[in-house]
């Protein structure tokens, strides 16, 4: 329990965050059990901003108006990701996520779990996947971004 910082049973998928800033995903079927577990072990339940949801929004199978895009960039900025950094991140993951969502056709939400799934997915052309020897660093980078702003109990 000492390694668990907080959790969010209502996230999709439910999340547990460690004191090192790592995110562990659980099945949606385990959300109620996670909520009980947190209550029983005094683990804080915290909703954190879905920065990857905002960062990956351009790769959804949906068109957004300029006002919506500006609101997304404002949310990112409030969470420590300025427009220039958001553009760099999107450029880095864009081909991967476009290929991934070209198969899934998700029009509602892509987030950290999708990004990590896409990184090694056989559904994505091999040249766009994150090479196995780079996946630990990619995962650490993605989780650091997901943890912005860092919310310590």
pLDDT value of residue 129: 97
Q: Report which of residues 2 and 42 the model is more confident about.
A: 42
Q: Provide the pLDDT confidence category of residue 150 given band limits of 50, 70 and 90.
A: low
pLDDT value of residue 152: 35
Give per-residue pLDDT as tens, 60-107: 877 788 998 999 999 999 999 999 999 999 999 999 999 999 888 776
pLDDT value of residue 12: 87
pLDDT value of residue 70: 95
**CA separation for the pair 78, 112 (Å, rounded):** 19
Residue 147 above 80 pLDDT?
A: yes
State pTM to two decimals.
0.88
Residue 11 above 80 pLDDT?
A: yes
CB proximity list for 57: less than 8 A, separation 6 or greater: 64, 69, 72, 110
b/e for 11-25, b at 16 or more Cβ within 10 A?
bebbbbbeeeebbeb
> What is the arrangement of strands in the sheet containing 15-18, beginning at the earlier edge strand?
4-8, 15-18, 23-25
Give phi and psi for 112, each to the nearest 5: -55, -45
Burial of 65 per CB tally in 10 Å (0-12, 13-18, 19+): exposed
pLDDT value of residue 64: 83
Give per-residue pLDDT as tens, 16-65: 999 988 999 999 999 999 999 999 999 999 998 899 999 999 998 777 88
- Give the residue among 135, 153, 136 at the shortest CA–CA distance from 48: 153
């Amino acid at each position: 329990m000492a390694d668990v910082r907080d959790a969010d049973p209502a996230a999709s998928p439910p999340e547990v965050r460690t004191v090192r800033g790592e995110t562990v995903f659980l099945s949606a079927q385990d959300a109620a059990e996670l909520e009980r577990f947190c209550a029983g072990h005094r683990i804080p339940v915290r909703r954190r901003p879905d920065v990857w949801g905002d960062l990956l929004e351009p790769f959804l199978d949906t068109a957004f108006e300029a006002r919506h895009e500006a609101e997304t960039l404002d949310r990112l900025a409030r969470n420590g990701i300025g427009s220039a950094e958001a553009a760099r991140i999107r450029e880095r993951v864009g081909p991967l996520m476009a290929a991934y969502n070209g198969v899934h056709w998700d029009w509602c939400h892509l987030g950290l779990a999708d990004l990590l799934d896409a990184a090694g997915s056989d559904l994505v052309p091999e040249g766009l996947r994150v090479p196995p020897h780079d996946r630990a660093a990619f995962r650490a980078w993605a989780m650091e971004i997901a943890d912005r702003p860092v919310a310590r109990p």
